[in-house]
């Protein structure tokens, strides 16, 4: 979610091939279908999220706390002119998942504690359940196309007071089945953020991580760690 000057910031690296056709395990020269990871129930979603210290470690901070815990997607569409790029703007957005077939979401906002003189770290971690592994894989494929269409450009994020925030978006990449893209705020501050998305069986892991101390790969790291908590085949 794009950093905003308000009290609340609104807005699996393991085995994607197990959920798409064409993957196989080869034994003595005979191709056999790969096993599928068990489905995760919506009730299990909260247990998949990382602890605040683990998120802080990924952000290179030992002092982040959970400030928001939700069981529904965020909706920042009113603040963002180009709704087609809402997924780049923030994690677990309502408009992004509205027609995806997802059945449940659980997410958290983490940042420096309220007593900190300045916020310099911020993260959103969210997990989203789908009815089938194929539905999650389809969402990931669609996200790859959608994120790529919003890369290498500037995006404006409207503010209640004052001029909009201006963000420069980099190129998307997919490494170890984690889709990622970075954003750098051009004004009024200089936040650097990364968005990351990965799926494992029927769960999508949707993460954003931001820092005032320069570029970060924390979103990919957090997504990968959450993916590692999901059951394997």
In CATH, 16-227 is 3.40.50.970: no
pLDDT reported for residue 233: 59
pLDDT in tens, 109-119: 999 998 888 88
pLDDT in tens, 75-92: 988 877 778 899 999 999
What DSSP letter does each residue of the chain carry, written as one string?
A: ----SSSS-----S-GGGGSTT-EEEETTEEEEPP-PPPPPGGGHHHHSPPHHHHHHHTT-S--EEEEEESS-B--GGGBS-GGGHHHH-SSBHHHHTTTT--EEEEEEEES-TTSSS--EEEEEEEEE-SSHHHHHHHHHHHHHHHHHT-SEEEEE--SSSSPEEEEE---EEETTEEEEEEEEEESS--EEEEEEEEETTEEEEEEEEESSS---HHHHHHHHHHTTSPP-
pLDDT in tens, 34-73: 458 899 999 999 999 999 999 999 999 988 999 999 999 9
């Amino acid at each position: 979610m794009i950093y905003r000057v308000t009290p609340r910031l609104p807005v699996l690296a393991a085995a994607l091939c197990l959920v798409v056709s064409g993957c196989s395990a080869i034994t003595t020269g005979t191709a056999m279908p790969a096993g599928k990871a068990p489905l995760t129930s919506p009730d299990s979603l909260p247990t998949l999220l990382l602890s605040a210290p683990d998120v802080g470690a990924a952000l290179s901070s030992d002092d982040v706390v959970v400030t928001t815990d939700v069981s529904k997607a965020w909706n920042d569409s009113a603040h963002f002119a180009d709704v087609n790029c809402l997924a780049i703007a923030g994690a677990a957005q309502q408009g992004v998942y509205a027609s995806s077939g997802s059945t449940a979401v659980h997410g958290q906002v983490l940042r420096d504690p309220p007593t900190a003189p300045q916020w310099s770290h911020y993260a959103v971690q969210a997990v989203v359940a789908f009815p089938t592994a194929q539905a999650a894989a389809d969402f990931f494929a669609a996200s790859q196309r959608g994120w790529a269409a919003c890369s290498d450009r500037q995006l404006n994020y409207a503010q209640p007071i004052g001029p909009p925030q201006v963000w420069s978006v980099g190129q998307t990449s997919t490494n170890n089945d984690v889709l990622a893209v970075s954003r750098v705020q051009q004004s009024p501050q200089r936040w650097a953020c990364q968005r990351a998305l990965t799926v494992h069986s029927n769960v999508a892991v949707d993460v954003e991580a931001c820092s005032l101390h320069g570029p970060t790969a924390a979103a990919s790291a957090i997504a990968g760690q959450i993916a590692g908590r999901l059951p394997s085949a």
